Amino acid sequence: MLNTARMARGGARHGSALAESEAVAKMDPARMKEQTDRHVWRTEVLLEGSLRGASSVLVSDGRTRIVVDTGLPHEESWLVAALARKGLKASDISIVVNTHFHVDHVLNNRLFSHSLIYAPQESYDWAKSLYADLRVENDWEKLVLKYYPEVMDYEKAPSYMGALRKFALRWWDEARLGSPSRFRWMETQPLPDGLESVITSGHVPGHASLLISDGQERMVVAGDALLSREHDDQVLTMIPVNKEKYQRDRERILALGGRIVPGHDAEFHQQATVSNSSEPA
């Protein structure tokens, strides 16, 4: 059973993070310009998202280099090769950002043994508890309903749950997340200037998307708040924790416009449908 005290703390963190996200969503253009004057960030996709694999993105201002999401163990060599094509090694990366803790986004963190890791603690706590319960031999099907209460609304619910458990048993390894001493929780630790996190928790609790501006164009690293530009139903990932909230997150990201990197698809450009001063909360 989940620790109720921890759940209460998680709820408090989520409330604080949501308030922060609302402030970010109504971002002041002058503030963005001030941040950009100090830091001009450049973004490049390292690993393009696919129906089976998550996107990985390099963010750099020339001094600080950041990798957003690190992928599955079998993608480690691909990530190393992608960095090498940029003239970089894992030791050149100062910061790793995890949008959430599904296994396909975090299991090469340990490559970056000298990097700080910024991530949402709510997602970390939730995922650790989920993956522990999925290992319970007899009761896992009942236990998973705590985490995915809407799963029985889906026609293929048993296969969804079975696939999730198989994936967890095969891949989940806390040692691959990196040393706990290197984690900086995004609910309380601000990202470097010019980078903003927005809580998009329809996919999983605490999920965070990243907003980046180079002074001319916004980039949104959506994580799994936007699985694909058009084919969410084909992506091999778990159903959202809250389908209605996920749909709102998806629409919100598309409304922001600019360069958008989905969690499991190629980068694309989108025309904004809201102004900077009136972005949806």
- The tens place of each residue's pLDDT in the chain, 281 residues long, gives 223 232 333 444 444 444 444 444 444 444 444 544 557 899 999 999 998 899 999 999 999 999 999 999 999 999 999 999 999 999 999 999 999 999 999 999 999 999 999 999 999 999 999 999 998 888 888 888 999 999 888 888 778 788 888 888 899 999 999 999 999 999 999 999 999 999 999 999 999 999 998 778 889 999 999 998 988 777 777 889 999 999 999 999 999 999 999 999 999 999 988 655 334 44
Residue 253 confidence (pLDDT):
96
- Rounded to the nearest 10 degrees, the angle between the axes of helix 121-134 and helix 157-171 is 100
What is the CATH number that goes with domain 4-265? 3.60.15.10
Residue 27 confidence (pLDDT):
43
Query: For residue 268, what is the enclosing H or E element?
Result: strand 268-270
Closest CA to 102 of 204, 243, 184: 204
Sheet with 116-119, strands from edge to edge, namely 42-47, 56-60, 65-68, 95-97, 116-119, 183-185
**What is the rounded distance in angstroms from the CA atom of residue 47 to the CA atom of residue 56?**
5
Residue 222 confidence (pLDDT):
97
Burial label, 74 (beta-carbon count in 10 A; 0-12, 13-18, 19+): exposed
**What is the rounded distance in angstroms from the CA atom of residue 83 to the CA atom of residue 89?**
6
211, 218 Cβ separation under 8 angstroms = yes
Residue 274 confidence (pLDDT):
67
Residue 210 confidence (pLDDT):
97
Q: Where are the domains of the chain?
A: 4-265
CB atoms within 10 A of CB 135: 12
